[in-house]
Structure 1
């Protein structure tokens, strides 16, 4: 009987996609028209239905409607745990893949097994305190500053800094390369023009 009942249901209506309403800030807080969402049920719904399309646009599926998300930093916002692991703003444990990308503003981006991510700025100092120079010692401020400014990328002989076996690389503004371009996501999805 359930099969017959579901077969008689009408198909989902064609609902236009929604743009410009939902965003995710750099600390992993959902915002609706710029206002922080605090309702636990709504946050749980957004977290559960958060995904992306083939073009790298991140969205929340709301039944038949796609609600595209404007990203202040990256699709996933990570918190660094005391054991060196990462947890997303939705509570999902993820693994870092490839290099850590540090920009001139001190923001850290990386690829994870869940997709592109940014480290919550509150955890940057904890991560940088564990960055090692090529000799295995703690990286000094001079080396970190050179990396952030992009100077170390211009010097092939510059020491390569690492965190837990992952290389830190500069995301140099001079290269006009943004985290979104490097990691393959669209920061602010827009409707396709007709």
Structure 2
């Protein structure tokens, strides 16, 4: 968390939280949701300002109930999640070495791989509790190049570089939040 945010929290500790105004979409884009977007169920407008995106990413965290938020100075802004709290991009370098990075640019080391009923690929890392991230759909080809899938495409294995083979486990999309302990829409809990 940024020092300026810590200072604002100390100076104004009782600023009410807000919900519905910020969304992390299925592709890892931060979106601002005004009242019209919230009323219509729209994902809102993508945030493109690099400094603001960096500020959001540095001050993004979860509370003890699994509700993800952006600490905007003294105000906690709870985040609507398009799927998971993390979205990862998969890349491969010229030497064939795979890398995963989350929407904030951090390294994501996979410990488990999942596929949902829609063909979405998810990874869990080895942190406690495990972070769960959905793979950006633009990277499905890279994933397929390093996976062996069964005929039903719901099982198989993913080869993570030369050090690890991850069995592909099935998970139902509606079970992901409960299984990995996060709240996709914190508005009802705040």
The TM-score normalised by the length of structure 2 is: 0.76
Which structure 1 residue ranges, 5 or more long, are not aligned?
A: 1-9, 133-138, 153-159
Assess if the C-alpha contact under 8 Å between 2:81 and 2:184 holds in 1: yes
Quote how far apart the aligned CAs of 1:113 are. Answer: 4.5
Instruction: Map 1:22-171 to 2 at 5 A.
Output: 22-33=22-33, 34-82=44-92, 83-97=97-111, 99-113=112-126, 115-132=131-148, 139=149, 143=150, 145-148=151-154, 160-164=156-160, 165-171=165-171
Structure whose alpha-carbon radius of gyration is higher: 1
Whole-angstrom CA distance in 2 between matches of 1:93 and 1:124: 18
Matched with 1:185 is 182
Quote how far apart the aligned CAs of 1:166 are. Answer: 0.9
Whole-angstrom CA distance in 1 between matches of 2:67 and 2:12: 22
Query: CA 1:125/1:39 → structure 2, altered by over 3 Å: closer, same or farther?
Result: same
Superimposed CA distance per residue, residues 121-150 of structure 1 (whole angstroms, 9 cap, x where no aligned partner): 111121122113xxxxxx4xxx1x5243xx
Quote how far apart the aligned CAs of 1:30 are. Answer: 0.4
Quote how far apart the aligned CAs of 1:108 are. Answer: 1.1
Quote how far apart the aligned CAs of 1:13 are. Answer: 4.2
Superimposed CA distance per residue, residues 40-82 of structure 1 (whole angstroms, 9 cap, x where no aligned partner): 1111111111111111111111122110111102111100020
The TM-score normalised by the length of structure 1 is: 0.75
Whole-angstrom CA distance in 2 between matches of 1:44 and 1:125: 28
Q: How many residues align?
A: 160
Assess if the C-alpha contact under 8 Å between 2:67 and 2:184 holds in 1: yes
Whole-angstrom CA distance in 2 between matches of 1:63 and 1:172: 36
Superimposed CA distance per residue, residues 130-183 of structure 1 (whole angstroms, 9 cap, x where no aligned partner): 113xxxxxx4xxx1x5243xxx6xxxxxxx53433111011146xxx5221222
Partner SS state of residue 186, structure 2: coil
